[in-house]
Amino acid sequence: MSRVVYVTGAASGNGLSIANRFLRSGDKVVAVDVDGDGLGRCQDEDWKEYSDQIVLHTGDVTLEEDVDASIAAGRKAFGQIDILVNNAGITGNEQASTVHETPVAEFDRVMAVNVRSIFLICRAALPEMIERGSGVIVNIASVAGMVAFPGRAAYTASKGAVIQLTRALTADYARHGIRAVALCPGMIETPMTKWRLDQPDLRQAIVDRIPQREIGSAEDVADAVFYFAGPEARYFNGAALAMDGGYVSI
């Protein structure tokens, strides 16, 4: 039986791979992104054969009205939403560095995209999940929520908040048959990390800090999300799980 999966940041990187993974399995996807042109490209290049399985929604996940509209669009198309994958996220611009150097507006922007969006999306989707007695929420956090990234105070704080928000969801809604998991990727090859990984010296320095000595892929993230959203992961609830080639182990 196919499920309905709501994916944010679906137009590129991890989000695109996550959407593709569920579509290939026969699930239905509500693909949400602020980049409408990007969604259009994905529709033309990646999702042509899945036109009856996917609904596209352009919107800003930091805005309550946009979030509510996207949830409503998914319900209108497919009847309900079974799985939330809160993937949209940003690291912040070059000014989002140490605490005293980060502009307040940029700190607020990072927190809005990375944390407020999850709050808004869950707030909109949970009443139906509670009524139905089932639902899965997979929040894409980061190993930065487990160990601090130097010079990335806002990002580190936001991902720590994602982990704690995930635990709060479990504490409050597990009794309603709802699971929440925070997946914490390490360095993954995506458009967001391209500027670093395209520099050979910087790439090598990153690899040298990972015990497994390799960079992860967006497909790795998608496979993990697919597993944690499925029945085989039924007893994972409130967990924050690192997938980082061993980075946080040393």
Q: Which residues are tagged catalytic?
A: 155
Phi-psi region of 242 (alpha: psi -120 to 50; beta: other; left: phi over 0): beta
DSSP-assigned states of every residue in 98-117: SGGGS-HHHHHHHHIIIIIH
Buried/exposed code over 122-150 (b: 16+ C-beta within 10 A; e: otherwise): bebbbeebeeeeebbbbbbbbbbbbeeee
Q: Is 97 exposed, middle or buried (0-12, 13-18, 19+ CB in 10 A)?
A: middle
d(CA 7, CA 34): 12
Helices (H), 55-212: 64-78, 104-111, 117-132, 153-173, 194-197, 200-208
CA 97 to chain centre: 22
The DSSP element (H or E) to which 31 belongs, if any, is strand 28-33
